[in-house]
Every structure is written in structure tokens, then in C-alpha cells.
Amino acid sequence: MVKIKICGIRRIEDIEYLNILKPDYAGFVFAKSKRQVNIETAKALIEKLDKKIKTVGVFVNEDRNDVLNKANRLNLDVLQFHGDETPEYTDNFKGFIVWKAIRVKDIRDLELIKQYSVDGILLDSKIEGSFGGTGIPFDWNILNNVRMDKQLILAGGLNSDNILKAIEIVKPDIVDISSSVETEGYKDYKKMKEFIEKVREIS
């Protein structure tokens, strides 16, 4: 069964939507972004989140000790590194589930997968000047022959119209969505519901 992560949670309304719709993961962005939350806001939101929904902290090129401070204070389930973090850096977080994002433009970018000893690889679109959340997909067909011994998390431009095709081609373990379930920059309950129902329908 394909699991679902809704990323960019930052309001109490978002938590209310999640508690009704029950995706598998909720993502909290600590990197500079229009969806960024600070540790106090994240704590208040996570306290109200259904305990069955796992929490994912999203970090970009952040100091290791700052990441550990947030991870421990918030009791995060997953640490997602979405910047230029090296394999040596991502090896520093024993005791946590670790996902490393790799931004993909063509098949050569997939060579990076082999370098990381992490629990999951998140594949996102490579867009100049951005670390994610662009709403633009990459060519999923380049993943046809990719096999890995880690969880595969697919992100980048997924929406209710293309998610069935994406799952059919890529066969990911987890799908990750953010901007496509928003209206005017905020999470939209109807869009979230439609996306989650489509994924669960084929799973």
C-alpha cells in the first residue's frame, strides 16, 4: 500500500484536516520557505496531531546540533534532509528514520542514490534556485529500471490528475505532496481529500 505524506503543515486548520483525512505522514518545514515553522509553532501543532500520523521534520543545510535539538524536543519520527547534505552528514542521526532528498533532472542525478546509507530516498524535481515545493514533476520514466534497498518517496509536481500514472510508473513506497493541495498558498481540505482518496483507491 502506497503511503501518503502531506508536507508544509503550518496552521491549526491543517492539523484539523489531517486528523480527519489521516495521511501517514505530516511534514513540518524548518528551512527558509513560505511554509517554514519555528519550533514553538511546530510543537503546538504536533501536540494536536493524531498520534497515528508520523511527524517529518524537513531541513535544508542546517547545523547538525540544531537539527538534533528540534528532533528531540519535538520527538520527530523522521528527519528529511532536502539540501546539499553529504553522506557523512546524514550518518549523524542514529535513532531516527532518515530520508535524503535527491533533486532529479535526468538519469545522471540518480547516481547519488548509491552514496547514502539512509532509510529512504526522496526524489524531487531539480529546479534552479529551489530546494522543493515547486509543483513541477520530473520525467518519471527514468526510474523504470531503478532498484534500491531503501524506501522510495516520490515528490515533485504530484496532484490528483497525475498521481495514478505516477504510482503506476514509479511504484513508490510513499508519495509526498504540498503545493498541489493548496489554494492561494494554504492547505485546501477538498484537494487533500481528493488526493488521498485517489491514492488509497488504487492501493
What is the Cα–Cα distance from 4 to 18, expressed in whole angstroms? 11
Query: Where are the strands (E) in the chain, listed by range?
Result: 3-7, 25-29, 54-59, 78-81, 97-104, 120-125, 151-154, 174-177, 182-183, 186-187
pLDDT given for residue 128 in this prediction = 58
Catalytic-role residue among 7, 14, 24, 176: 7
* Domain range 3-202, its CATH number among 3.20.20.70, 3.40.50.300, 1.10.10.1400, 3.30.9.100: 3.20.20.70
Catalytic-role residue among 84, 124, 176, 188: 124
pLDDT at 147 over 80: no
Active site residue 14: no
| pLDDT tens by residue, 73-125 | 999 999 999 999 999 999 999 999 999 999 888 888 888 899 999 999 999 88
What residue has cell string 519520527? 77
> What's phi and psi for 121, nearest 5 deg?
-115, 125
| More confident position, 103 or 60 | 60
pLDDT given for residue 134 in this prediction = 54
| pLDDT tens by residue, 127-138 | 555 555 455 788
pLDDT given for residue 87 in this prediction = 96
| pLDDT tens by residue, 3-58 | 999 999 999 999 999 999 999 999 999 999 999 999 999 999 999 999 999 999 99
pLDDT at 195 over 70: yes
What is the Cα–Cα distance from 135 to 124, expressed in whole angstroms? 10
Out of 3-7, 130-134, 152-156, 166-170, pick the least confident.
130-134
Active site residue 139: no
Q: What are the residue boundaries of the structural domains of the chain, listed by start?
A: 3-202
Q: What is the mean pLDDT of residues 166-186?
A: 94
pLDDT given for residue 91 in this prediction = 95
Q: Which residues make Cβ contacts (< 8 Å) with residue 24, sequence separation at least 6?
A: 3, 4, 5, 53, 54, 174
What is the Cα–Cα distance from 154 to 157, expressed in whole angstroms? 10
What is the Cα–Cα distance from 103 to 125, expressed in whole angstroms? 5
pLDDT given for residue 203 in this prediction = 65
pLDDT given for residue 135 in this prediction = 57
What is the Cα–Cα distance from 90 to 86, expressed in whole angstroms? 6
